[in-house]
Structure formats: C-alpha cells, structure tokens
Amino acid sequence: PREESLSTGWALDPDRFAGAIRIVAGSWLAFLIWIYIDPPGHAGFVSLAIAMGVAMAKSPQLSVSAVFLPVLLGCLFASSLYLFVMPHLVGFVQLGTMIFVATFAITYLCSTPKRGLMRSMMLIYFIVIISIDNQQTYSFSQAANTTLEALLTVALLVVCAYIPYNRQPEKMFLRMLHRFFRQAGFLVSPPTLGLKSTMVVVRWWEKLRSRNDLLAIPDQLGTWGAMVDQRENMGDSSEQLPVLATRLHMLGHRLQELIEARRNPQGQFLVDELQGEVQDWRFKMQKIFQSLAKDPAAFNQKTIQTEMDRQLTGLEVRIKETMSKATEGQISDRDSENFYRLLGAYRGVSEAIVAYTGIAGTINWSPWYEERF
C-alpha cells in the first residue's frame, strides 16, 4: 500500500503566530497608555510602538532589553548634536558632514550582527531628533520628550517580549529543540497511533506542519544558538551548538527521505511478511524521539548505536529470509528496489540520531533550564 502524499505547502508557523500575538498585545497596551496616561509623543507613541513591534517581530532572536542603553545613548548623542552643534552650522556642506560623521560612528561601533537592532535604533532616533527642516528650529522640550517617548516604547516592548512565552535565547533554543523531536516522533509514528480516521484533514495538516518544522527549525536553531550567552550556559563547549544544529539539519533531511521512500508503493507480499518488523522500528523511533523531546541528551551515543544496529540487523535478516522463501512472481524487481530504498532510509535516520546524540552528550544542559532575568 502507498501512504498519502505529503507535499510541502502552507502550514501555521507557531513562532510567527506568537510574534503576531506580541504585536497585537503591544498595540493594545500602547493604546491604553495613550488614553489613560497621555505619554510623551501622544498619538505618535502608539504609532512608534506598533512600528518597532513589527520590526522586532521580524528578528525575534534579537534581545529587546539590550536596546535600552543604545536607545538612551543614541538619544543623548543626537540631542547633543541637535542642541549644541546644529545651531552653529551654516550651509548644507557642514550639515552633510555632521550627518556623515554621526552615521559612520554609529554603524562602525555597532557593526556586529548581534548589534544590528542597536544600530537600527540609534540611526532611527538620530534622524528623528535632529528633525532637519528648511526652517530649522531648536527646542529642548522636543529632544527631551522624544527621549522619554523612546525609552517608554522600549519598556513596553520589553514587557511584550514575554508574551506569550519567555524568548530568552537559551529558552527558545530548548523550546525549538523539543518541538523538532515532537514533530519527528509524530511523523515516524505508526498510523494506529495517529488521529482517528474521522479527522483525516486534521492529521494531514499536522503532518504538513511537522514536515515544514523539520526543514525550518535546524536553521533557526543555528541563529538562536549564536545569541546564547556562552559564558553562563556553555562554558568551553560553545562550538558544539553550530555542530548540533548541523546534525539536526541532517536528521531532518533523513526524515524527509524516509517520508518520500514511504510514498513508493510496496509489494503486498513484503508488506504482509515484514509489517511487524517495520512497525517495531517505528514504535522504537517514536519512543526515542519522545524521550529526546523531554531531554535533549536522554541517550548515550554508544547505547543508542548498539540499539540501532540491533534493530536494523534484525530487520535485514528478516528481509533476507523473506526474499529467500518468496516464489517466482511474488516479488518484482520494482518491489525489491522500493523496499531496499525504504530500508536505506531507515538506516539513514538511525545513523543521524547516533550522530546527534554524540554531540548532545558533550553539552551541559543543566544551566539551560535555570531561570534568568
């Protein structure tokens, strides 16, 4: 029998949906603050909060709390130029020189990828505060109000950053790692462990989302891993995180190959004879993925290697026995090719799991679960 087609397509992304929730929550909080407190900037405070919320939702790996100091320094720097330098400038040449020097200093000091959001915020508030116009006027209250508006906006976004869950890099890394293995366990689970037959559409949609996660999560883990505070969480094993993400990327592709191999039609004789062994392998893999979803270092590499070898060796022995007792015409060349392709996919998934456990076992995961503020 041939399993249902599982082509990639549209599926709900939980991380993007959480970003939309943060934007909506921030918009409502900003609107309520405007109504009941009337902060500096008035209605502009709401617009600024929404704009910054949308910008940061596109880069969820960037820390919001780390923006406080850059925004404050950027506002003070721009206010100093606005109040003490710009009144003495004459002509566009001097103004252009000042803008070039200030912009170059900000981009040079914040040139690293981790400071990308800081660089953007400082440039934004530099342009906002200097307020270049044909009829230039200077007001201390304008600079002070803009600074207060900026800091209040960042404070609001810091609060919204914990909606609907904690987005600290190490917590997000664990969250996505757990989700990857939950989805992997769902994809390898035997059909009898899935949803009821009356919910075929729901099961298809869940499979589609799981498959998309297998493609996307390893790349996202690489980005989140670069943001983790290595001194507090990793010690001297900081180089293991990119390797771990690479191992998961390999595992995701091996699972994709398994899904594609399962779509090929299998001979009925082979299915009847080997269904029990194949189901045992899927049960075993499901339990392994469920354990890894709870603890990323649940297995020792040598232990899992021995178990995988035993499982695959037993399956290969049964295949040889089945092939030897098959009569002429029961197994076609096409059936043999498809089944051995499926066996190769099983071996690829098993080897990828062994490779992952070898890296995961070298990481001290205990500090990752500690709460930090």
Instruction: Report the distance separating Cα 241 and Cα 228, nearest Å.
Output: 9
Same domain, 253 and 353: yes
Instruction: Report the distance separating Cα 244 and Cα 173, nearest Å.
Output: 11
Residue 339 has pLDDT above 50, yes or no: yes
Q: What is the pTM of this model?
A: 0.74
Q: What integer is the mean pLDDT of 107-134? A: 82
Same domain, 184 and 89: no
Q: Mark which of 115, 136, 160 sits at the end of a domain.
A: 160
| Cβ(184)–Cβ(251) below 8 Å | yes
Q: What integer is the mean pLDDT of 222-248? A: 75
pLDDT at position 4 is 41
Residue 112 has pLDDT above 60, yes or no: yes
Model confidence over 32-52: pLDDT tens digits? 999 999 898 888 899 889 988
- Answer whether the bond into residue 296 is a cis peptide, omega within 30°: no
Q: Mark which of 160, 190, 217 sits at the end of a domain.
A: 160
Torsion, Cα of 183, 187, 192, 196 (10° steps): 60
The CATH number of whichever domain residue 341 belongs to comes to 1.20.58
Whether residue 235 is contained in a domain is answered as yes
Reduced to 3 states (helix: H, G, I; strand: E, B; else coil), residue 136 is coil
Cα 8 to Cα 14, 169, 183, distances in angstroms: 17, 28, 15
| Cβ(357)–Cβ(301) below 8 Å | yes
Q: Nearest-5° angle of CA 230, CA 236, CA 242?
A: 65
Single out the residue of 354, 334, 323, 336 nearest to residue 251, CA to CA: 354
**Which single residue is written with the structure tokens 């820390």?**
63
- Amino acid in position 141: S
Same domain, 55 and 203: no
pLDDT at position 344 is 86
pLDDT at position 214 is 81
Whether residue 3 is contained in a domain is answered as no
Same domain, 258 and 352: yes
Instruction: Report the distance separating Cα 241 and Cα 226, nearest Å.
Output: 8
One-letter-per-residue 3-state SS of 235-254 = CCCCCHHHHHHHHHHHHHHH
Whether residue 6 is contained in a domain is answered as no
Same domain, 149 and 246: no
| Cβ(300)–Cβ(358) below 8 Å | no
Q: What integer is the mean pLDDT of 302-324? A: 83
End-to-end C-alpha distance for the chain, whole angstroms: 54
Cα 54 to Cα 57, 58, 193, 218, 314, distances in angstroms: 5, 7, 40, 24, 54
Same domain, 70 and 140: yes
pLDDT at position 234 is 53
Those residues with Cβ within 8 angstroms of residue 20's Cβ, 6 or more apart along the chain or in another chain: 57
Same domain, 203 and 284: yes
pLDDT at position 2 is 41
Q: Which two tokens stand for residue 37?
A: 């407190």
Range of the domain at 201: 169-369
Q: What integer is the mean pLDDT of 317-332? A: 76
pLDDT at position 203 is 54
Same domain, 138 and 96: yes
Q: Mark which of 133, 160, 187 sits at the end of a domain.
A: 160
Helix (H) or strand (E) holding 172: helix 169-188
Single out the residue of 137, 135, 109 nearest to residue 123, CA to CA: 109
| Cβ(129)–Cβ(143) below 8 Å | yes
| Cβ(41)–Cβ(30) below 8 Å | no
Largest Cα–Cα separation, the chain: 98
Q: What integer is the mean pLDDT of 241-265? A: 86
pLDDT at position 6 is 41
What total number of domains does the chain contain?
Answer: 2
Q: What integer is the mean pLDDT of 238-264? A: 85
Instruction: Report the distance separating Cα 85 and Cα 76, nearest Å.
Output: 13
CA–centroid distance for 28 within its chain: 26
Cα 244 to Cα 33, 247, 365, distances in angstroms: 44, 5, 13
pLDDT confidence bin for 338, thresholds 50/70/90: confident
Model confidence over 89-104: pLDDT tens digits? 888 899 999 999 999 9
pLDDT confidence bin for 1, thresholds 50/70/90: very low
Q: Nearest-5° angle of CA 90, CA 92, CA 95?
A: 75
Same domain, 183 and 76: no
Residue 174 has pLDDT above 80, yes or no: yes
The helix-helix angle for 116-130 and 68-80 (nearest 10°) equals: 30
Residue 205 has pLDDT above 60, yes or no: no
- Amino acid in position 235: G
